Amino acid sequence: MPELKYLTAYPDGLRQQAAGLLGENRLGPLLRSRYPRAHGLRTDRALYDYVQELKIEYLRNAQPVSKVAYDSKIHVVQHALGLHTQISRVQGSKLKAKHEIRIASVFRDAPLEFLRMIAVHELAHLKEKDHDKAFYKLCCWMEPQYHQFELDLRLYLTHMEHTGERLWADD
C-alpha cells in the first residue's frame, strides 16, 4: 500500500479503499464526478468577499477579519491547508488584534466545497482556538458536510501527490 500521509487519521479500511482506487487510477475520476467544476474565486478580493459572507452569516459577533488571501507558501512550508493568524499591535495604551486568513494557493483551482471547508475551518478559529469537540461542532454547524468535504479534499491531495495531476486546473 502506498504511503497516504493525508489519510493517517482515518481507519485502515478507508485507507485501503483509497489505495485501491489510487492504484487503479480511479480516484481522480471519482473526485471529478463528485465535484465537476472548480469555483470562480480567483482573486484575493473575491476570496475575501466570500469569507466575509460566511462570517456575516454564521459568526456575526466574532472579531473582524482584516485580510483573506491565497498564499503560495503555505502548503510547502507549514504543511497546512490554510492559516488563521492573529497579529497584535500596540495602539496607544491598548493592544489591538488583527485576524488574517491565508489559504493555500493550490485551492485557487478546486471545487467550491473544498474552499468552503477550509474557510469554515479558519473562521471557526475566531471563536475556538483548539481543535477540540467544540471547534468541530462549530465547523459542522457552519457546514453540515464538513467532514465529508475534508475527507474528499484529503483524497484529492493524495491523488495530486501520487499522480502530479491537478484535476480542476484547466477549468
3 versus 33: the higher-pLDDT residue is 33
| Parallel, antiparallel or unpaired: strands 94-104 and 82-91 | antiparallel
What cell was used for 44? 484575493
The predicted structure's pLDDT at residue 91: 74
For residue 124, is pLDDT > 70?
Answer: yes
pLDDT of residue 171: 59
Q: What average pLDDT score do residues 78-85 get? A: 67
| Residue 170 DSSP code | T
The closest of 104, 102, 99 to 129, measured between CA atoms, is: 99
Percent of the chain with pLDDT over 70: 94
d(CA 138, CA 116): 14
pLDDT confidence of residue 77? 42
**pLDDT, tens digit (0-9, with 9 covering 90-100), for 9-21:** 999 999 999 999 9
pLDDT band at residue 169, thresholds of 50, 70 and 90?
confident
Grid coordinates belonging to 57: 452569516
Sign of the alpha-carbon dihedral angle for 48, 116, 56, 50: positive
Q: What is the pLDDT of residue 72?
A: 84
Q: Is the pLDDT of residue 78 over 60?
A: no
Residue 7: pLDDT band (50, 70, 90) is very high
Long-range Cβ contacts of 161-166 (<8 Å, 24+ apart):
161/5, 161/6, 162/2, 162/22, 163/25, 163/28, 165/28, 166/106, 166/109
Task: Please determine, for residue 82, whether its predicted confidence score (pLDDT) is greater than 80.
Answer: no
| Helix (H/G/I), strand (E/B), else coil: 61 | coil
